[in-house]
Amino acid sequence: MTPGTEAAAVAGVFFCLGLWGMAPSVSFGDSGEFIAAAATLSVPHAPGYPLYCLLARAVGTMFPWATWAYRVNLLSVLCGAGAMGFFWAALRRARLHPAGALLGLVVLGLSPLRLHTSLQAEVFSLNDLFAAAAVWIFACYRGRVFQDRPMAALGLCLGLGGANHHTLAFMVPALLVSGWLHSREDPPSPARLARSAALLLAFTGLGLLTYAYLPLRARLSPPLDWGHPVDLQRFLHVLLRKDYGSFSLTVEGASAGGWSGLQAQAARYLSSVGSELGPAGLLLLLLGLFAAARRLPGRGEVGWHLPVLLILMTGPVFLMLGSPPLDPQTTGALQRFQLMSLLGLGWLAAVGGSWLASQGRSGLVAAALTLAAAPLPCVLRSASWHQRTDLAALDYGRNLLRTLPPRSLLFIDGGDDTFYTLAYLLYGERRRPDIEPHDRGGLVFPSPYGPDFRRLTAEGKTERRREVEAAAARGSGRPVFYSTLDENILPGFELPLWGLLRRVGGSGFAGDRRPADSPTGPVLWDSYVDRTEGSKAQAHYRYRALVPVYPVMRGLADAARGDYPRALLRLRLADALGPDVRWVRPSVSQAAQWIGFLASLRQDWEPAGQAFLLATQVQPEAADSWFNLGVTLDKRRRYGEAESAYLRGVALNPSSFQAYYNLGALYWGQGRWSESMDWFEKAHSLQPEETGAARFAERARRAARGEAAP
Beta carbons within 10 angstroms of residue 198's beta carbon: 12
Task: Work out the average pLDDT over 515-522.
Answer: 46
Whether the predicted pLDDT of 647 surpasses 80: yes
Whether the predicted pLDDT of 520 surpasses 50: no
Structure confidence at residue 287 as a pLDDT band (50, 70, 90): very high
Do residues 484 and 465 lie in contact, with contact meaning Cβ atoms separated by under 8 Å?
A: no
Task: Name the residue among 403, 393, 404 with its Cα closest to residue 428.
Answer: 393
* pLDDT value, residue 214: 98
Whether the predicted pLDDT of 519 surpasses 70: no
Whether the predicted pLDDT of 262 surpasses 80: no
* pLDDT value, residue 511: 36
What SS3 class is residue 437?
A: strand
Structure confidence at residue 235 as a pLDDT band (50, 70, 90): very high
Do residues 213 and 239 lie in contact, with contact meaning Cβ atoms separated by under 8 Å?
A: no
* pLDDT value, residue 184: 78
Range of 73-87, 270-284, 366-380 with top mean pLDDT = 73-87
Whether the predicted pLDDT of 593 surpasses 50: yes
* pLDDT value, residue 254: 54
* pLDDT value, residue 324: 81
Distance CA 229, CA 176 (A): 33
Whether the predicted pLDDT of 187 surpasses 50: yes
* pLDDT value, residue 252: 53
Distance CA 349, CA 100 (A): 8
Least confident of 297-301, 562-566, 647-651: 297-301
Task: Work out the average pLDDT over 227-232.
Answer: 95
Whether the predicted pLDDT of 586 surpasses 80: yes
Beta carbons within 10 angstroms of residue 577's beta carbon: 23
Task: Name the residue among 123, 100, 118, 209 with its Cα closest to residue 159.
Answer: 209
Query: Which stretches does DSSP call E strand in 92-233?
Result: none
Task: Work out the average pLDDT over 196-205.
Answer: 96
Dihedral pair phi/psi, residue 441, rounded to 5°: -85, -10
Task: Work out the average pLDDT over 585-600.
Answer: 95
Q: Whole-angstrom distance between the N-terminal and C-terminal Cα of the chain?
A: 101
Whether the predicted pLDDT of 298 surpasses 70: no
Q: What is the helix (H) or strand (E) element at residue 595, kind and residue range?
A: helix 584-601
* pLDDT value, residue 40: 97
Assign residue 478 a region: left if phi > 0, alpha if psi is -120 to 50, beta otherwise? Answer: beta
Cis-peptide into 620, omega within 30 deg: no
- CA 382 to chain centroid, in Å, comes to 20
- Torsion over CA: 296, 299, 302, 305 (sign): negative
Which residues belong to CATH 1.25.40.10 in the chain? 548-705
pLDDT in tens, 128-149: 999 999 999 999 998 889 999 9
- CA 87 to chain centroid, in Å, comes to 28
Question: Which CATH architecture group holds 548-705?
Answer: Alpha Horseshoe (1.25)
Distance CA 564, CA 86 (A): 59
Task: Work out the average pLDDT over 167-182.
Answer: 93
* pLDDT value, residue 644: 93
Distance CA 423, CA 413 (A): 15
Strand 501-503 with 480-483, pairing: antiparallel
Whether the predicted pLDDT of 507 surpasses 50: no
Structure confidence at residue 273 as a pLDDT band (50, 70, 90): confident
Whether the predicted pLDDT of 258 surpasses 80: no
Q: What percent of the chain has pLDDT over 70?
A: 95
Least confident of 72-86, 91-105, 283-297, 468-482: 283-297
Q: What is the DSSP string of 513-538?
A: ---SS-TTSHHHHTT------HHHHH
CA dihedral 240, 242, 243, 245 (to 10 degrees): 100
Whether the predicted pLDDT of 448 surpasses 70: yes
What SS3 class is residue 297?
A: coil
Helix, strand and coil in the chain, % to nearest 5:
65, 5, 30
* pLDDT value, residue 122: 96
Q: Order the strands of the 409-412 sheet from edge to edge.
A: 436-439, 409-412, 480-483, 501-503, 497-498
Task: Work out the average pLDDT over 544-556.
Answer: 94
Distance CA 82, CA 61 (A): 20
pLDDT in tens, 656-686: 888 889 888 988 888 888 888 999 888 888 8
* pLDDT value, residue 257: 59
Task: Work out the average pLDDT over 563-587.
Answer: 95
pLDDT in tens, 381-395: 999 999 999 999 999
Task: Work out the average pLDDT over 4-21.
Answer: 96
* pLDDT value, residue 510: 37
Helices (H) and strands (E) in the chain, counts: 35, 5
* pLDDT value, residue 256: 53
Beta bridge partners of 502: 482, 497
pTM of the model: 0.91
- Average of per-residue pLDDT values in the chain: 90
Q: What is the DSSP string of 251-283?
A: TT-----HHHHHHHHHHHHHHHHHHHHHHHHHH
Distance CA 668, CA 187 (A): 91
Q: What is the helix (H) or strand (E) element at residue 133, kind and residue range?
A: helix 124-140
* pLDDT value, residue 709: 55
